[in-house]
Structure 1
Amino acid sequence: MPTPVSIDNAPPPRDHRRRPQESRSQQRRRSVATLRRWRYLSQLAVAVLILVAAVRHQLARESGAPSTDALCPFGGVETLWTWVTTGEFISKVHPSNMILGAAVAVSVLVAGNAFCGWICPFGSLQDLITGLRAKLGVRAWSPSPAVDRVLRAGRYVVLLAVVVASAVTASLIFAHYDPYVTLFSLHWLFEPDLATMWPALVILTVVLIGSVLVDRFWCRYLCPAGAVFAVLGHLSFLRIRRTASACTDCRLCNTPCPVGIDVAGTPSAVSTDCIGCLECVANCTFGGALEVSGPTWVGSIGRRTSERDTVLS
């Protein structure tokens, strides 16, 4: 017959709602994983919104449905010189372009180049291409650091050419060749005209092939909007920062970066080419080495003493 258990010695009832105690590193990884899911949802939602707007514009032109041109913040950059000097917008630019451009500029000053990692549908498409290539087991081409630096200058060349051409012609001349507009406007589907569209289609094809070979090919080397954001990013309030004393130099943070930043070699703040995808932070094996932080006088989001992290780990 089993020995009766005294009420005083009985084990306390289990609280199934209580989580096991997590270390600071585990909490941090879980938070980053949640943010990554929100990023994927944001990318999908914006891509769907742009495609729906494009379909409405193609099917109901008389209703004034906005085009992809009206939903592009870079239009604000293209018309800026004309607007400042004449007080007028260039052809096909709407107040919406200026409003979106100003909103994105403010977001860059607050959170860096997160627009490209969380919002831009063409960037999302390139992420999708990267994911499909990874599923097929095909490795991307990684240019040498010297070649990469030269290629990244291409964005600024394109930016200068676009701004000058737009100011001289007083038109959205870049829209005729912009791969984002070519693809997401859906002209190729509703109004196919190879006689006039072939240059844009060739450029789009080259960019997509480049995106198969190199992660975010367009974003890294050719996007003029990315060039603007990279410059403004130096004034950004929030940036991913690396604490060298907490880093183990495993260099795992470099592996998932879609824009090829040498995160492990960063002395402090990560390059302004960063698109805020947080993949490097998620891949960091030691909590505290990489953090999303403001200026040093503000402190870091979620920063805790290393002693507490060591004890809980």
Structure 2
Amino acid sequence: MAATAEPGTHPARPLTRAQRRVRDIRRLHVGRALTQLAFAALILSAAVRHQFAERGTAASVDALCPFGAVETLLTWITAGHFVPKIHQSNMVLGLSVLVATVLVGNAFCGWVCPFGALQDGLSWVRRRLRLPVVRVPQAWDRGLRWGRFVVLAVIIWMSATTARLWFSDYDPYLTVFSLRWLFEFNARTMALQLGILLVVVAGSLLVDRFWCRYLCPLGAVFAVVGHLSILRIRRSPAACTDCARCDTPCPMGIEPSKAKPFVSTDCVGCMECVVACPVPGSLRVDGPVLLGMPLRPDTLGPSRPHRTPAGTGPRP
């Protein structure tokens, strides 16, 4: 027999599509925030252990950063050894992150990176304080995104020529998460580091993920490797109604509504656009890219702006 509702009660009504979307957005926000906080706590705990443990018995934050593999790459190839403070753990982490990016896309920036989490937190503060958000003109935005590649090239070259972790003197990630400002504070030597950090914080209060968009050298690596990702977010032109609701929550300012068909490799895998889309099947994580269709990246750098052909426009 079919189940019946008890007297005096009403059967639960199924959620509407809009209600399901709100539920999914909340679940995504909570899940991603918890994941980011967990990795940030892991790095901070490692920094504390390194400060109090006997010298050489606890890994530093430097040894737990996948970017260390990139910093020492040229030195390893040309001289056969690592830059000081770089360990095999950096190479293992760097290779693991790159392999994961090829297999499942760039989830590291959106779900793991503690500095990305910090910038998401600054965006949350801006919304709470109702501060204005700066909309960078498209031409400026596209040019500024190449800054990541300039920073990456300078870091690799300087690390090789100086035979040390040259970028550690300026890296805002290390400034925050190494906890040197707490345990080894020196106003004279840390003035430049704190100045750079303040600039990044100010920028992140005005532009979502300011550092990730325009300056992060590891993000530059992911922007290139992302073209090889098997899983990427794909837009279906047949299903898309051009409502552009997916563009608003994107922290990287990518505009998924204009993807042709895959979103830019600047995507950090946060999935905000997918859960915000009101049309089922319009945006979805799709693949394989390499095995099921030809790989045709428009560029190894930031994606070109979408141009709507003459005589076309949003569907009614």
Normalized against structure 1, the TM-score is what?
0.86
SS at match of 1:45: helix
Q: Find the partner of 1:198 among 169, 185, 191.
A: 191
Give the match for residue 108 of structure 1.
101
User: Which protein is bigger by CA-based radius of gyration?
Assistant: 1
1:43 has 2:36 as partner: yes
Whole-angstrom CA distance in 2 between matches of 1:32 and 1:197: 40
Q: Find the partner of 1:128 among 92, 111, 121.
A: 121
Whole-angstrom CA distance in 2 between matches of 1:68 and 1:234: 29
Give, as a single letter, the amino acid of the residue that structure 2 aligns with 1:53.
Answer: A
Would the alpha carbon gap of residues 20 and 39 (structure 1) be closer, same or farther in structure 2, given more than 3 Å must change?
Answer: same
Whole-angstrom CA distance in 2 between matches of 1:84 and 1:145: 38
1:257 Cα deviation from its structure 2 partner: 0.4
Normalized against structure 2, the TM-score is what?
0.85
Give, as a single letter, the amino acid of the residue that structure 2 aligns with 1:37.
Answer: V
**CA contact 1:28–1:287 (8 Å) conserved in 2:** no
Give, as a single letter, the amino acid of the residue that structure 2 aligns with 1:135.
Answer: R
1:167 Cα deviation from its structure 2 partner: 1.2
SS at match of 2:90: helix
For residues 252-278 of structure 1, the C-alpha deviation after alignment (integer angstroms, 9 at most, x for no partner) is 110000011021111200000000001
Give, as a single letter, the amino acid of the residue that structure 1 aligns with 2:159.
Answer: S
Whole-angstrom CA distance in 2 between matches of 1:293 and 1:215: 26
Give, as a single letter, the amino acid of the residue that structure 2 aligns with 1:14.
Answer: T
Give, as a single letter, the amino acid of the residue that structure 2 aligns with 1:142.
Answer: R
Give the match for residue 13 of structure 1.
3
RMSD: 2.3
Would the alpha carbon gap of residues 19 and 194 (structure 1) be closer, same or farther in structure 2, given more than 3 Å must change?
Answer: same
Structure 2 residues without counterparts, runs of 5 or longer: 294-316
Give the match for residue 218 of structure 1.
211
Give, as a single letter, the amino acid of the residue that structure 2 aligns with 1:87.
Answer: G
Give the match for residue 74 of structure 1.
67
Whole-angstrom CA distance in 2 between matches of 1:211 and 1:31: 26
Would the alpha carbon gap of residues 90 and 45 (structure 1) be closer, same or farther in structure 2, given more than 3 Å must change?
Answer: same
**CA contact 2:21–2:276 (8 Å) conserved in 1:** no
Give the match for residue 111 of structure 2.
118
Identity %: 54
The number of aligned residues is 288
1:139 has 2:132 as partner: yes
**CA contact 1:36–1:277 (8 Å) conserved in 2:** no
SS at match of 1:246: coil
Task: Decide which structure has greater helix share.
Answer: 1
1:37 Cα deviation from its structure 2 partner: 3.2
